[in-house]
Amino acid sequence: MTANTLPEDSLLHERITRLPTDKRAQLLARLRAEPARAETPWLTRFSRGDAPGVRMFCFSYAGSGASIFRGWTDGLPADVDVWAAQLPGRETRVGEQPVRRMGPVIDALHEAIRPHLDQPFVFFGHSMGALVAFELARRLRSAGDPEPAHLFLAAFRAPQLANPNIKIYHLPDEVLKTVLLKEGTPQQVLENDELMRALLPTLRADFELCDTYEYDAQPPLRMPLSVFGGHQDVRVGRSDLEPWQDQVDGPFRLAMIPGSHFFLHSAQDLLLAELVRDLRATALTTVHLKEGKHVHDRPIAG
């Protein structure tokens, strides 16, 4: 996780800031409505069919919710079913208090996800979501539940590394906004008082969740791991991502993608293509690929 949790190219935030007050209120209300079929309050399903071959459970970055994965079904094979975690304090759960510690989040997600592990599944997590996905995979193992067939983690340092960043969750609002601006949050977002009133409590809670996280050394997970970083990410670099390989006893691939911390927005098509390639290499989807089957050691150009 980094402090710049709002993507500079986010169409959502730019659209909100440009709308008149009444239209902006209508849009915010619509975004708080259920974006797709909610299997539980903690999981939202974006699906195009009733018989998928693999379930992809997705976990979002700090301050965001399930809706950032709404369009992913268009870039993935038809036999991949997208499910997104929805933490309290955002979108459909905007009236709930956000959770400030990792333990209760993992407890709740574990309970929510257990009934849906009857088919092959994978995890994708971006920034804070990468840490959540990793810890949830370890919880499934310790509970003796089915484990992900593949882990896809993006834009978060390996968990065994010390956090080199200052803790910002306790800072006053105006100081926090200054830090967010420096880290890349658009000026127009920070100047939108209505939007910031809605976002800051959840952002602050998510920052606290990550800043108070304590790594517990355990044996490596036995599954393939693909890790992705942004070439222009100023807070999470290759040296922060490479040690992830120590967390798995299986194939590992690190790929750097053009873009900043939020390359999942600016380079979404490229990221999804890379996910598809690795899904195919792990024999989890029937999608036809123009290139070779085994890509675990192939870097992304650029």
Residues annotated as catalytic (active site), given as ranges: 127
Please enumerate in sequence order all residues whose Cβ is within 8 A of that of 188, keeping only pairs 6 or more positions apart, or say none: 13, 14, 17
Q: How far is CA 155 from CA 26, 74, 124, 255, in A?
A: 33, 23, 11, 11
Torsion sign (Cα): 122, 8, 301, 71 = positive
DSSP β-bridge partners for residue 58: 84, 124
CB 1 within 8 A of CB 127: yes
Q: How far apart are CA 253 and CA 226, in angstroms?
A: 5
